[in-house]
């Protein structure tokens, strides 16, 4: 365990504060409680407040919830992973068995439970879980050369576990290799024995390699179980005109609609270039912005509210992923494809 530092305390306090803000928002928008409370729970997990996180997962899973859950298996999987992290192994395992038995049709729950098993050195079980997930989600044994984007974390996780188990490549592994883009190949990335095969006999190098693998696992978990989208606010032309007419001081922020759209694309490209994952665009409307300002006890003319409004819409699950495919409609609703509109290079 690392020693507690003041910086970590500040970090924990920020996570708890954000969790509480999200819980309040969930009170205002019960229809979005699943997104908001899952994210609040993730912040509590990051703050080390695991029992409080469990309570939120339980609240979502309780039968009295206002709206049926969109992805109950994902909430259960997150609950199990969290429980296991603070010593409730038996309960976690029982939930994991239950999640696997329902054979979810989305990759998230599979990946969360497989990674929980992997993190606790249950490599065989992690392997079986990833394999069942790949079978359920692709319905083939690796023949589909272009599996959906969302299935990739399953194939990559499975590849990682199989490398650690010393298994020979199968069709899915070859597929995972082919789909991987990055400076280092997946085989190199996933080979804990790499330094030995290169002739090294330095145990420190091996340990470094294993911690790098662990860090990669952490990275995937962060992306999947902690989906904090970074979203930029988009005002459609009519809404922007109405906004600026009602709150003229905001005209400094938004000189013209065209410039507003160009700024959105530029901001997202910059974030992407700096390696920020999970980017999106949220669409603003004047009434929803005014309601948000009122809920924060502030006036809509306050510029500092705009990014908070964007974050809140994103945490309510309102972000559309960016970038669209070049052949998909542009996010700005011009009617042109992204490749011919704001996606032009
Ligand atoms: Zn490979
Ligand atoms: Zn466009």
Interval 145-159: pLDDT, tens: 677 777 888 998 999
The residues, ordered by sequence, that sit 6+ positions from 116 with a Cβ below 8 Å of its Cβ are: 77, 80, 81, 84, 92, 96
**Closest ligand to 341 CA?**
2
Place of tokens 């229809």: 31
Task: Report residue 51 as tokens.
Answer: 């029992």
**Please, what's the largest Cα pairwise distance for the chain?**
70
pLDDT band at 188 (very low <50, low <70, confident <90, very high): confident
Instruction: Give the closest ligand to the alpha carbon of residue 158.
Output: 1
Q: How far is the CA of 143 from the centre of ligand 1 (A)?
A: 16
pLDDT band at 193 (very low <50, low <70, confident <90, very high): low
Q: Given this model, what pLDDT does residue 58 score? A: 95
Element (H, E) at 261: helix 257-273
Q: How large is the average pLDDT for residues 324-330? A: 90
% of the chain surpassing 90 pLDDT: 43
**201 pLDDT more than 60:** no
SS3 (DSSP) at 251: helix
Q: 313 C-alpha vs ligand 2 centroid, how far in Å?
A: 21
What is the structure's pLDDT at 244? Answer: 96
Sign of CA dihedral 219, 225, 231, 237: positive
Q: H-helix or E-strand containing 280? A: strand 279-283
**What six digits make up the tokens of 160?**
């990682």
What pLDDT, on the 0 to 100 scale, is given for residue 63? Answer: 67
Least confident of 121-130, 134-143, 283-292: 134-143
Q: What is the 323 CA–ligand 2 centroid distance (Å)? A: 11
Between 8 and 137, the more confident residue is 137
Percent of the chain exceeding pLDDT 70 equals 81
Mean pLDDT of 184-195: 67
Ligand number nearest CA of 191 is 1
Of 213, 207, 211, the closest CA to residue 187 belongs to 213
Closest ligand to the CA of 173: 1
List C-alpha distances in Å: 127 to 104, 138, 279: 17, 16, 30
Ligand 1 centre to CA of 174 (Å) is 6
| Pick from 28-37, 53-62, 120-129: least confident | 28-37
Pick the range with the lowest mean pLDDT from 28-37, 211-220, 268-277, 334-343.
Answer: 211-220
| Ligand 1: centre distance to CA 165 (Å) | 13
**Mean model confidence pLDDT for the chain:** 84
The predicted pLDDT at position 239 comes to 96
111/206: higher pLDDT: 111
Phi, psi of 234 (to 5 degrees): -120, 120
**Interatomic CA distance for residues 62 and 138, integer angstroms:** 31
pLDDT at 220: 47
Is 233 strand, coil or helix? strand
pLDDT for the residue 64 = 66
For residue 274, the CA-to-ligand 2 centroid distance in Å is 22
Q: Which segment of 114-118, 203-207, 250-254 scores lowest on mean pLDDT?
A: 203-207
Across residues 283-293, what is the average pLDDT?
Answer: 92
Bridge partners, 337 (sequence order): 329
Would you call 154 helix, strand, or coil by DSSP?
helix
> In Å, what is the CA distance from 92 to each residue of 54, 85, 120, 267?
11, 9, 11, 41
Residues at Cβ < 5 Å from ligand 1 ion: 173, 177, 186-187
CA 308 to ligand 2 centroid distance, Å: 24
d(CA 83, CA 90) in angstroms, rounded, equals 9
What pLDDT, on a 0 to 100 scale, did the predictor assign at position 54? 96
């Amino acid at each position: 365990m690392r020693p507690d530092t003041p910086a970590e305390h500040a970090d924990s306090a920020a996570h708890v504060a954000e969790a509480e803000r999200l819980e309040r928002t969930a009170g205002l928008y019960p229809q979005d409680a699943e997104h908001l409370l899952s994210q609040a729970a993730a912040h509590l997990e990051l703050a080390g407040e695991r029992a409080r996180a469990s309570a939120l997962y339980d609240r979502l899973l309780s039968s009295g919830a206002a709206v049926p859950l969109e992805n109950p298996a994902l909430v259960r999987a997150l609950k199990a992973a969290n429980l296991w992290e603070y010593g409730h192994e038996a309960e976690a395992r029982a939930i994991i068995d239950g999640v696997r038995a329902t054979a979810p049709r989305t990759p998230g729950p599979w990946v969360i439970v497989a990674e929980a098993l992997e993190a606790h050195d249950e490599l065989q079980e992690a392997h079986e879980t990833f394999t069942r997930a790949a079978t359920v989600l692709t319905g083939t044994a690796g023949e589909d050369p272009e599996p959906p984007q969302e299935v990739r974390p399953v194939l990559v996780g499975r590849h990682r576990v199989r490398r650690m188990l010393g298994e020979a490549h199968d069709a899915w592994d070859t597929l995972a290799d082919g789909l991987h883009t990055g400076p280092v190949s997946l085989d190199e990335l996933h080979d804990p024995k790499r330094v030995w095969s290169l002739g090294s006999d330095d145990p420190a190098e091996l340990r470094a390699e294993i911690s790098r693998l662990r860090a990669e696992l952490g990275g995937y978990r962060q992306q999947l179980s902690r989906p904090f989208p970074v979203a930029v606010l988009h005002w459609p032309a009519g809404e922007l005109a109405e906004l600026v007419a009602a709150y003229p001081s905001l005209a400094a922020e938004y000189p013209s609609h065209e410039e507003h759209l160009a700024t959105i694309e530029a901001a997202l490209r910059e974030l992407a270039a700096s390696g920020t994952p999970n980017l999106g665009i949220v669409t603003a409307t004047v009434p929803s912005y005014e309601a948000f300002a009122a809920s924060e006890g502030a006036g809509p003319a306050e510029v500092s509210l705009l990014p908070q409004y964007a974050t809140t819409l994103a945490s309510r699950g309102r972000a559309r992923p960016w970038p669209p495919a070049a052949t998909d409609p542009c996010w700005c609703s011009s009617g042109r494809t992204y490749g011919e509109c704001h996606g032009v290079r």
